């Protein structure tokens, strides 16, 4: 059964918005925050592979999303923690992401899904905690939106708000990425 045209447009649009927001975030954080810029670029590449139908297989697209989740998101959190002086948490998150990336080949599809969602929620919660203690409103919104994306991905329903569940998760990730980019900018201004 072929997907409905509205679903195809919704999916393409959610990938495009996530890619554009992440590209803007990577460009605006590149000078001050190379780790976060790399994390945003991994999200851009994952979204781009999903939008270019003939360039890769479905498994390649899933691998790109896996790398963007287990390496890209910890890079974002790493920078946020590092800027705020929490170097041990920064290193722990990045190290955990690297271990998951290496171990991903030994996990089944369900195991990768659970590990990716766990990484997303850990990143969201740690960003949220640091943002609360530093009174960074954008960081709070970014952490909350990343957490929403992680929680929505675990729901059993296929559709949320008349859209496919995965599209709603990408919209939440895009909103979280935008807010997180603003949070990094705010933190940099506080420290200057």
pLDDT of 4 over the 80 cut: no
What is the rounded average pLDDT of the residues 14-30?
90
Integer Cα distance of 39 and 111 in angstroms: 22
What pTM was estimated for this model as a whole? 0.83
What is the rounded average pLDDT of the residues 83-97?
89
CA distances (Å), 76 to each of 3, 34, 38, 118, in order? 34, 10, 8, 15
**Of residues 51 and 174, which shows the higher confidence score?**
174
> Contact at 8 Å (CB) between 147 and 128?
yes
The domain defined by 13-190 folds into Rhopdopsin 7-helix transmembrane proteins (1.20.1070)
Q: Looking at 56-60, 74-78, 185-189, which range is the least confident one?
A: 56-60
Q: What is the pLDDT of residues 93-106, one digit of tens each?
A: 999 888 888 887 78
pLDDT of 90 over the 80 cut: yes
3 state DSSP class of 163 = strand
Q: What is the pLDDT of residues 116-159, one digit of tens each?
A: 888 888 888 999 999 999 899 999 999 999 888 888 777 777 76
**Of residues 62 and 184, which shows the higher confidence score?**
184
pLDDT of 177 over the 50 cut: yes
Integer Cα distance of 58 and 188 in angstroms: 39
Q: Give the angle subtended at the CA of 13 by the CAs of 11 and 17, to the nearest 5°.
A: 120
3 state DSSP class of 192 = coil
**Of residues 127 and 161, which shows the higher confidence score?**
127
User: Which of the four pLDDT bands, split at 50, 70 and 90, describes residue 63?
Assistant: low
Going from N- to C-terminal start, the domains of the chain cover 13-190
In the numeric block, which tokens belong to residue 138? 């954008």
Q: Give the angle subtended at the CA of 111 by the CAs of 107 and 114, to the nearest 5°.
A: 145
Sign of CA dihedral 36, 39, 45, 47: negative
**Of residues 161 and 166, which shows the higher confidence score?**
166
The CB-side HSE value for 85 (13 A sphere, CA atoms) comes to 4
User: Which of the four pLDDT bands, split at 50, 70 and 90, describes residue 2?
Assistant: very low
Q: What is the percentage of the chain residues whose pLDDT exceeds 70?
A: 86
Which residue, chain included where needed, has tokens 């659970």? 114
């Amino acid at each position: 059964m072929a997907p409905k045209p509205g679903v195809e447009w919704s999916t393409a649009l959610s990938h495009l918005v996530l890619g554009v927001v992440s590209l803007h975030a990577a460009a605006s954080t590149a000078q001050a925050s190379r780790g976060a810029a790399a994390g945003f670029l991994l999200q851009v590449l994952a979204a781009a592979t999903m939008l270019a139908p003939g360039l890769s297989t479905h498994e390649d697209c899933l691998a790109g999303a896996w790398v963007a989740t287990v390496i890209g998101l910890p890079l974002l959190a790493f920078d946020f923690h590092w800027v705020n002086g929490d170097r041990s948490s920064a290193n722990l998150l990045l190290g955990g992401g690297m271990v998951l990336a290496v171990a991903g080949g030994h996990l089944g599809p369900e195991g990768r899904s659970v590990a990716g969602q766990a990484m997303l929620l850990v990143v969201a919660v740690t960003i949220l905690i640091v943002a609360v203690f530093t009174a960074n409103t954008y960081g709070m919104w970014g952490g909350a939106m990343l957490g929403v994306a992680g929680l929505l991905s675990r729901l059993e329903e296929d559709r949320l708000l008349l859209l496919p569940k995965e599209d709603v998760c990408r919209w939440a990730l895009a909103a979280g990425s935008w807010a997180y980019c603003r949070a990094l900018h705010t933190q940099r201004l506080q420290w200057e």
